[in-house]
Structure 1
Amino acid sequence: MFEDDRTGQRTNGLIGFWAALGLAALLGGCANMNPQQPQQQPQPDTAATATPASDATGADASGAQQAASAPVTRVVTKTTYVRVRRGDTLARIAQKHSVSVKDLTAWNHLKPNGHLRAGQSIKLVSKLTITVQVAAPQAGGAAANSTANSAASRQVAAEVARHANSVALVWPAHGRVVEPFAAGSTRGIEIAGKAGDPVIAAADGKVMYAGTGLNEYGSLIIVQHNKDFLTAYSHNRRLLVKTGDTVHQGQQIAEMGSENNDRVAVLFEVRRDGKPVDPMPYLPSSPQG
């Protein structure tokens, strides 16, 4: 009886949640959503925030900055897509783009011996190394991070604005799945843990909602990854991002909790074109995978 009541409450709560945010705005046109801010807007963690130093003026200051400049590199994820041509195979595409067939199948959720169709979009993921010059020792770290973050944010914005056939996710938390996906009753999976455990972004994206305005969810974060896929993370103890932030895969966005839940766990949802789908096919085989 408890499980039936709990499932019914979650189903009603989920229906109310998506209705409250506006299905057409959030799920039909995610890129243009501008949800109303809740009264209790969580504040981001500012421990790593740096304030860039003022620009130096005068020839002496400029010369000192140039003398102190040094190259700084940062690695960011780059995602591109290629169109399948007639006669293409996974092996041929992998060889042409210097990647492995194993990676191609993982990025696109394909079978190793699966057939491709002409015109199909294939996702390629690579690491992009950005080199910048640090202008001054005391502000160098902030300047380098600002430049690299700007480039990474532009890449994420481009991804969010395009349609995609899939999304490559990582586990949002390390823990045991205590409630699986069940179409029509649950809209995601629950991953258990300890209060304060990190909840991380499953993929690069833009935070479309971060707040506590929906009681059934407790503290909730919604991240849009492209025009077709978004993820949601709820029942958190503390939110570390705010609406409008750009987040990157593996970045901690919250602390696990039990807000409006009967156990410490994160409720993780994946939505495709507005419809809840089982997150498991989009995740590695295990939280460590």
Structure 2
Amino acid sequence: MRKESTVRKWSLNAIVLLLGLFLVACSSNKANTSKASRGNYSGPVYTVKRGDTLYRISRMTGSSVSELARLNGISAPYTLEVGQKLRVKGSSGSSAKKTAVAKTSKPRASTTSSVAKVAAPPVGAKCWRWPTMGKVIVPFSSSDGGNKGIDIAGKRGQPIYASAAGTVVYVGNQLRGYGNLVMIKHNEDYITAYAHNEKTLVNTSQKISAGQKIATMGSSGSDSVNLHFQIRYRANAIDPQRYLPPMGSKPSC
């Protein structure tokens, strides 16, 4: 019972910790998003629509995530509301500012305002395998608001595998913009995340072996069929391609 309680507690902590990190991490919502799915962007003001994230808005408006956050008084985890008016790059005018402040001045819970940076682990410190096969269409980026994982293109229904053995700590679609998401804890240092799945085939607290099928590829929370995959080391995102073996080969460890 105690062990089960610990897993549940870690699962909740993982969701709270990664919420803010994920909302600015995934770049699967590409710049070619149709106008029908975008917010209303007129001059210096952007109106938030369902599914928007601060990173997505930054790409559409040409403003950086940090600039949008500063202009609108938004702090991590950068929670947005449908209909919210945001000032964008180069905007001015008291009415836009007042509207934005009115929408964003409410106190928000923020447990992820900062994550201490740690040195990346050496290559080979842990054995990883590719979660699926396909072309990496968006690589990892360590820049502000960049893609904190990799996006792998594929076919709908294509198998998604666990990159290493561990315990499932989250299965759900509560993180807006990431669709059906699975997170696996591998030990006290590592966690992996698999987003935009069509179907999830595992449950929270389930023990998973390396290479076990955990989901099928889809486009939930995305504009295209792909897998958004992250490896986090002590809560910090690291470049998966630096640690994965060559595409198509098995890990040598």
TM-score (norm 1): 0.46
Which of 159, 165, 183 aligns to 2:142? It is 183
Residues 229 and 244 of structure 1: CA distance in aligned 2, closer, same or farther (over 3 Å): same
Match of 2:201 among 240, 244, 260: 240
1:66-92 Cα offsets, whole Å, 9 max, x none, are xxxxxxxxxxxxxxxxxxxxxxxxxxx
CA-based RMSD of the aligned residues comes to: 3.3
Displacement, 1:263? 1.1
1:53-132 equivalences under 5 Å are: 109=123
Unaligned runs of 5+ in 2: 1-29, 39-52, 59-64, 66-75, 80-107, 117-121
Q: Which amino acid aligns with 2:196?
A: H
**Which has the higher Rg, Structure 1 or Structure 2?**
1
Distance 2:77 2:233 in 1: 16
Q: Is the 8 A contact 1:167 1:229 kept in 2?
A: no
Name the SS for the 1:255 alignment partner: strand
AA aligned to 2:130 is W
Partner Cα separation in structure 1 for residue 194 and residue 247 of structure 2:
18
Displacement over 3 Å in runs of 4+: 3-7, 14-17, 19-24
1:255 alignment partner in structure 2: 216
Percent identity of equivalent pairs: 34
2:166 alignment partner, one of 205, 225, 230: 205
2:31 corresponds to:
2
Displacement of 1:260 after TM fit? 1.2
What is the rounded CA distance, in whole Å, between the counterparts of 1:20 and 1:237 in structure 2? Answer: 31
Query: Which structure has the highest helix share of the two?
Result: 1
In the alignment, what sits opposite 1:231? 192
Q: How big is the shift at 1:284?
A: 0.4
Of residues 122, 126, 150, the one that matches 1:167 is 126
Give TM-score, length-normalised by structure 2.
Answer: 0.53
CA contact (8 A) 1:215 1:260 kept: yes
Q: Residue 215 in 1 paired to residue 176 in 2?
A: yes
CA shift at 1:10, angstroms? 8.6
Listed one character per residue, the Cα deviations across residues 204-243 of structure 1 (whole Å, up to 9, x for unaligned) are 0000101111121100000011111110000000000011
State the one-letter code of the partner of 1:176.
K
